[in-house]
Amino acid sequence: MRLPSLKFLKTFQVAATRLSFKIAAEELCITPSAVSHQIKTLEEQLGVALFERGSNSLSLTEAGSNYLLQMEAVFSRLESVTDQLRVRYGRSVVRLHIPPFFANEMLLPKLPALLAAQPDTDIHISTVMTPTHPHAADADVSIVVNAAPEEGLACHKLFSQAFVPACSPQLLLRRAINSVQDLNDHTLISHDARRDGWHRWAETIGLELRPRKIVRFDSMYAAAQAAEHSVGVALVSSRLGIERFQHGTLVKLFDNELDTGESYFLILRPEDAERPEVQALTRWLLHEFKLAM
């Protein structure tokens, strides 16, 4: 049997990592139907089902999970060889994977300083996080949110994850919030990944919230933006929201924080930690974002 097309294999890797043909299509700049067709052709060539397709879900079969592990190793090796070629005959490259809200709130304001600190290194930044592997095969350095780091990886804790209620100054001018009970007169903004966030926060102070309305967003960035636009009150990361608090676009309402039990970690493979350009990026990230313990 001829080997499957490299294009089809890459499509499978992206779709299997994202568990979404739509997201894979956007990343690969093709249509979802093209992704579906390529995956179906690959499955026919292999004689094996790689995905289990539900009406509103997509998951990997056992064969698909095993194949993904192999493909990630193959593409990681291919990218590593290509990067080594660039290092030998051109410029060095470091691949950084980082959550989108962390990238927007903390990395982007400092990005010019990072580029100036590493003038001879190209930095590839990805904000597409994978649900199956926190530290993707195509990443040299990752920043992740987790309760505990993954075994077998070099790990540095940056800071704990905690949330505080916050809103815009304009919202307070329309309707003041002088006590926790006043939150029930406002719209509360929720994040899909933390649907129980407000309930857990209220539990820390022994209160049951009955808000006028709840608005839920699928990203922390959208939730914070909605709060800035006076849509309502949001639970915002006390650390990641620091720029907004300092600039006054968001106001902390109470000192009580929701400690999620998670932390932001910087992780990398031990073999990557030996590379000078990776060491330089790691030192910079730790200097800028690691809180004193």
User: 151-202 pLDDT, tens per residue?
Assistant: 788 999 999 999 999 999 999 999 999 999 999 999 999 998 888 999 999 9
pLDDT of residue 3: 78
Tokens for 177?
A: 């919030």
Fold of 92-293: D-Maltodextrin-Binding Protein; domain 2 (3.40.190)
Segments making up each domain of the chain, as ranges: 6-69, 92-293
80-84, 166-170, 267-271: least confidently modelled range: 80-84
| Count of CB atoms situated within 10 Å of the CB of 244 | 21
Query: Which sign does the torsion angle of CA 7, 10, 14, 20 carry?
Result: positive
- What CATH architecture does domain 6-69 belong to? Orthogonal Bundle (1.10)
Instruction: Read off the pTM.
Output: 0.69
Q: Could you report the per-residue pLDDT of 21-32, keeping only the tens digit for each?
A: 999 999 898 999
Domain pair 6-69 / 92-293, same fold: no
pLDDT of residue 1: 54
DSSP assignments along 48-87, one per residue: S--EEE-SS-EEE-HHHHHHHHHHHHHHHHHHHHHHHHHH
61-65 average pLDDT score: 93
pLDDT of residue 93: 83
pLDDT of residue 132: 58
Q: Is the pLDDT of residue 293 over 60?
A: no
Q: 130 falls in which pLDDT band (50, 70, 90)?
A: low
Residue with tokens 């309707």: 175
Q: Is the pLDDT of residue 233 over 90?
A: yes
What mean pLDDT, rounded, does the chain reach?
89
Query: Do strands 154-167 and 251-252 pair parallel, antiparallel, or not at all (unpaired)?
Result: antiparallel
Q: Are 164 and 235 in contact (CB under 8 A)?
A: yes
DSSP designation for 194: B
pLDDT of residue 228: 96
The amino acid sitting at 195 is R
Query: Which sign does the torsion angle of CA 248, 249, 250, 251 carry?
Result: positive
114-135 average pLDDT score: 82
| Count of CB atoms situated within 10 Å of the CB of 14 | 22
